[in-house]
């Protein structure tokens, strides 16, 4: 294990994904979300395949024992991606990022509901704290301020929250898939499924992007593949409980890009709500680590 290297890979993946989201946002006024999903997914696949080939894992990395599991994870994950991309056209990048933090909180709830995982008072309290933060971020957008802008922002907030719900469901599918599937297979078949599903939206308003937009979209797809590789590499190098909290560095990157590129000034409710969400997420990660250490000690004590 090389923890510092794992942290570096994690931070790099977070930055790459935020830059990718900013590229999608830059085209959102003209390019529909379904078309953006296509570019993001299709152009990620060559990057992933080249990476697997260089690691000599192309044959073993794409084997699957659960094709239907990949399909359902792909359907739910594509919905999450599409809703998130659509929301980028209505809300500032930092707000979309903050609302997206609801996904790991909701994953705790869904894992208890669908996987039978035990959720004790500590994690329930942390989830409640985090969802309070989500409501604080959402409240100004859901007040339905007079005019079309207020309605559009409320619609965008609901899109992003819906994306977080589906992202949490996707994580539940991933938790089941990792029992039998290799990580490269999960990543590749998700990109493949998302590419195919995005074509369903073709009759509903795809546009012919200009060269600048096409370049941004292709770059977003390539960065998506790079981000997945960096993310996978981070978990190869260090424990998940160590690198997971660095997900929240995305807020710093989103604030910087939002301010300097899109002239988006963060509001106090957004910052306060995001702080609560991040605190809750870190508490859950910390608790998971403590439980993991406790289980390891119990197994060691039972070993003759």
Question: Going residue by residue through the chain (304 aa), what tens digit of pLDDT does each one get?
Answer: 688 899 999 999 999 999 999 999 999 999 999 999 999 999 999 999 999 999 888 887 888 989 999 999 999 999 999 999 999 999 999 999 999 999 999 998 998 898 888 888 888 999 999 999 999 999 988 876 556 567 888 999 999 999 999 999 999 999 889 888 888 899 999 999 999 999 999 999 899 999 999 999 999 999 999 999 999 899 888 887 788 889 999 999 999 999 999 999 999 999 999 999 999 999 988 887 777 656 556 555 555 5
111, 172 contact by CB (below 8 A): yes
The predicted model scores a pTM of 0.92
> What are the contacts of 150-157 at 24+ separation with CB within 8 A?
152/90, 153/90, 153/91, 155/90, 156/86, 156/87, 156/89, 156/90, 156/91, 157/87, 157/90, 157/91, 157/95, 157/99
For residue 144, give every residue at least 6 positions away whose Cβ sits within 8 Å of its Cβ, in sequence order, or none. 150, 151, 154
Q: How far is CA 106 from CA 128, 167, 211, 272, 280, in A?
A: 10, 9, 39, 20, 12
């Amino acid at each position: 294990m090389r923890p510092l290297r794992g942290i570096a890979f994690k931070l790099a993946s977070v930055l790459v994904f935020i830059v990718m989201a900013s590229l999608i946002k830059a085209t959102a006024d003209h390019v529909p979300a379904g078309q953006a999903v296509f570019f993001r997914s299709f152009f990620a696949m060559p990057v992933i395949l080249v990476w697997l080939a260089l690691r000599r894992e192309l044959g073993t990395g794409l084997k699957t024992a659960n094709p239907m599991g990949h399909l359902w994870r792909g359907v739910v994950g594509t919905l999450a991606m599409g809703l998130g991309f659509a929301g980028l056209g209505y809300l500032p990048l930092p707000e979309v990022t903050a609302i997206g933090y609801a996904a790991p909180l909701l994953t705790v709830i869904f894992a208890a509901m669908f996987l039978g995982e035990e959720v004790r008072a500590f994690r329930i309290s942390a989830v409640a704290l985090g969802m309070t933060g989500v409501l604080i971020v959402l409240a100004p957008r859901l007040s339905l301020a007079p005019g079309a802008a207020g309605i559009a922002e409320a619609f965008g907030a609901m899109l992003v929250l819906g994306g977080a719900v589906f992202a949490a469901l996707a994580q539940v599918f991933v938790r089941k898939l990792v029992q039998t599937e290799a990580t490269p297979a999960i990543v590749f078949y998700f990109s493949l499924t998302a590419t195919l599903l995005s074509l369903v939206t073709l009759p509903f308003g795809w546009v012919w992007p200009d060269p600048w937009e096409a370049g941004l979209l292709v770059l977003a797809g390539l960065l998506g593949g790079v981000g997945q590789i960096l993310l996978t590499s981070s978990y190869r190098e260090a424990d998940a409980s160590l690198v997971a909290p660095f997900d929240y560095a995305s807020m710093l990157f989103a604030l910087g890009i939002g301010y300097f590129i899109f002239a988006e000034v963060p509001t106090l409710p957004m910052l306060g709500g995001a702080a609560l969400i991040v605190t809750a997420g870190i508490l859950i990660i910390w608790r998971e680590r403590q439980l993991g250490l406790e289980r390891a000690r119990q197994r060691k004590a039972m070993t003759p």
